[in-house]
Amino acid sequence: MENTLPFMGYHGSAGQEGMSQMGLGMAIAASMVVMTMFQQFLLTHLRGYVELFLRKLFKSLDPNVQIRFGDDDNGGPKNHEAYAAVETYLSSKCSDQAPRLKANSVRDIKTPVLCIDVGEGVDDEFNGVTVRWQLGEEKEQGESYRGSRKNRYYTLTFRKSNRKMVVGEYLRHVMEEGKAAAASNRQLKLYSNSSSEHGSNWKYIMDFDHPAKFETLAMEKEKKEDIIDDLIRFSTGREYYRRIGKPWKRGYLLHGPPGTGKSTMIAAIANLLSYDVYDLELSAVLSNATLKRLVNKIPCNSILVIEDIDCSSKITHQRERNTPNQGEEKKEKILETVTLSGLLNCIDGLFSANDGGRLMVFTTNHVEAIDSALLRRGRMDKHIEMPFCGFEAFKVLAKNYLGIEEHDLFGKIEGLLKESSVTPADVAENLIARRGEGEDSGDDCLKKLIEVLEKSVQQVLDKKGEGKREEIESDPSL
């Protein structure tokens, strides 16, 4: 039969073809979605395994081994010691190879010591084996604010076949040579936390080049010899402290009126032991945790100094206030940001039991204002009184300032010193001799000092007289 609707037949065939093309497109799109999801799944769950496999593969093909020595704070003082030893060793052995160098000043040496700069590398040879050192720098993790600190590190690269010799012999050689070179010619340094943000980091302040020595210290000879002997025994007593089971640390308390030489004593100690000085400003520390981090960053063979501990922080003595409690008075301790227990834990708790070699020196003008928990032995092991000037101290000052050891006026001065209250700083100020033409033999300086001492004696007598009068007025029976 003739088809009367040929156009319907035509459209029926075209519709079937269109539906087939549409189904094919949907299938392709679905497969693409599935493939994308599958790829994302693989990347998410298998990417780590693939990267780990590739790293292991590349490492197995790499013939070299790398060891990193960082100067960052996270590893504590031992990291800094190893970094400093490497730097000193390289400056004395290999600095002539690098095209870019940095200069460090060293005490008593006119020409600076040269070290390699960031990004530079040098080769070193030991027992026929060649290794390479390179200095790098990276931004400290977790600090994104402007002016954040940068940590430097040395990378040692050597062949795998030489691992045993490098780790067992070469690194010991580097540490020993570096520490020996540093001890012989390095410049002592002064660090403080007062200039850092929130007092949380040690900052280099300046080279420590104080001329004070025990030979010129205004103090009795026997007392100086006792202190020197104690310091030497401490600085060389690592194995002794380990044998008796005590942390290798020692605390000194210097107490006395202002001007009696407490700061000069610290400088003399630093010069005797060749120790860097770390000046801790307690008022700049915001928390116990910050204090612990600061103390832990101090390297071995250093001096931790807390000057004027009686007034640098309110934690040095117990403070209490009375608060009403239902009609009764109740005593309540006032808590500070840095607590007394936090300070005690840093200087004498488990937190203090590290590699050791630290000398802690506290100074105060008023020892009676310090909490008894800080004063006990084990925290402040040796108490050194810095008194008013005595005759033995005067003779040291006369020799230092005037170059004389005996004089006819010494007998009168000795008698006046016993009755007066003058500090070594006051005596030294009056012993500064004139220089140049017409320089005297010290007579004028000694006569001037006698006048000052006589005035001081009179002031002492006047105070005693006022005290006696007040005592008589308060008690007529006297």
Please tell me whether residues 257 and 354 are part of one structural domain: yes
Please tell me whether residues 292 and 234 are part of one structural domain: yes
How far is Cα 289 from Cα 439, in angstroms, rounded to an integer?
58
Please indicate, yes or no, if residue 170 is contained in any of the structural domains: yes
Please indicate, yes or no, if residue 28 is contained in any of the structural domains: no
Please tell me whether residues 227 and 86 are part of one structural domain: no
Q: What is the pLDDT of residue 78?
A: 64
Q: What is the pLDDT of residue 157?
A: 92
Please indicate, yes or no, if residue 85 is contained in any of the structural domains: yes
Please indicate, yes or no, if residue 35 is contained in any of the structural domains: no
Please tell me whether residues 179 and 208 are part of one structural domain: no
Q: Which domain holds residue 462?
A: 391-471
How far is Cα 337 from Cα 347, in angstroms, rounded to an integer?
17
Please tell me whether residues 248 and 119 are part of one structural domain: no
Please tell me whether residues 256 and 369 are part of one structural domain: yes
Tell me which DSSP letter residue 272 carries. H
pLDDT in tens, the chain (478 residues): 455 444 444 445 555 665 666 777 777 877 787 777 766 766 666 666 767 776 776 666 677 888 888 876 555 556 677 888 888 888 777 666 767 777 766 554 555 667 778 888 888 889 888 999 988 888 765 544 445 567 888 999 998 888 889 988 999 998 888 877 766 666 788 998 876 665 678 888 888 888 899 998 988 899 999 999 999 999 888 889 888 888 888 889 999 988 889 999 999 999 999 899 999 888 888 888 888 888 888 888 899 998 888 775 555 444 444 455 554 544 444 444 677 777 877 777 665 556 678 899 999 988 888 878 788 877 788 999 999 899 999 999 988 888 888 888 889 989 998 888 888 988 888 888 655 444 556 788 888 889 888 888 888 787 766 655 555 555 555 4
Please indicate, yes or no, if residue 42 is contained in any of the structural domains: no
Question: In this structure, how many other beta carbons lie within 10 angstroms of the beta carbon of residue 93?
Answer: 18
Q: What is the pLDDT of residue 350?
A: 60
| Cα first-last separation, the chain | 156
Question: In this structure, how many other beta carbons lie within 10 angstroms of the beta carbon of residue 418?
Answer: 10
pTM > 0.85: no
The string of DSSP letters for 96-119 reads TS-SSEEEE--TT-SSPEEEEPTT
Please indicate, yes or no, if residue 231 is contained in any of the structural domains: yes
Please tell me whether residues 403 and 420 are part of one structural domain: yes
Which of 124, 128, 120, 179 is closest to 157 using CA atoms?
124
Copy the structure tokens of residue 412: 């009168």
Q: Domain containing 272 — which CATH number?
A: 3.40.50.300
Please tell me whether residues 263 and 313 are part of one structural domain: yes
Please tell me whether residues 246 and 283 are part of one structural domain: yes
Please tell me whether residues 253 and 345 are part of one structural domain: yes
How far is Cα 179 from Cα 458, in angstroms, rounded to an integer?
56
Which of 140, 133, 105 is closest to 117 using CA atoms?
133
Please tell me whether residues 168 and 275 are part of one structural domain: no
Among 360, 385, 410, residue at a domain's last position: 385
Please indicate, yes or no, if residue 458 is contained in any of the structural domains: yes
Q: What is the pLDDT of residue 470?
A: 56
How far is Cα 235 from Cα 6, in angstroms, rounded to an integer?
114
Q: What is the pLDDT of residue 368?
A: 84
Among 363, 385, 407, residue at a domain's last position: 385
Please indicate, yes or no, if residue 31 is contained in any of the structural domains: no
Domain count for the chain, please give it: 3
The string of DSSP letters for 399-447 reads HHHH--S--TTHHHHHHHHHH----HHHHHHHT----STT---SHHHHH
* E strands in 233-386: 249-255, 276-279, 302-306, 320-325, 328-333, 358-364, 382-385
Among 385, 420, 443, residue at a domain's last position: 385
Which of 170, 179, 175, 206 is closest to 191 using CA atoms?
206
Please tell me whether residues 180 and 200 are part of one structural domain: no
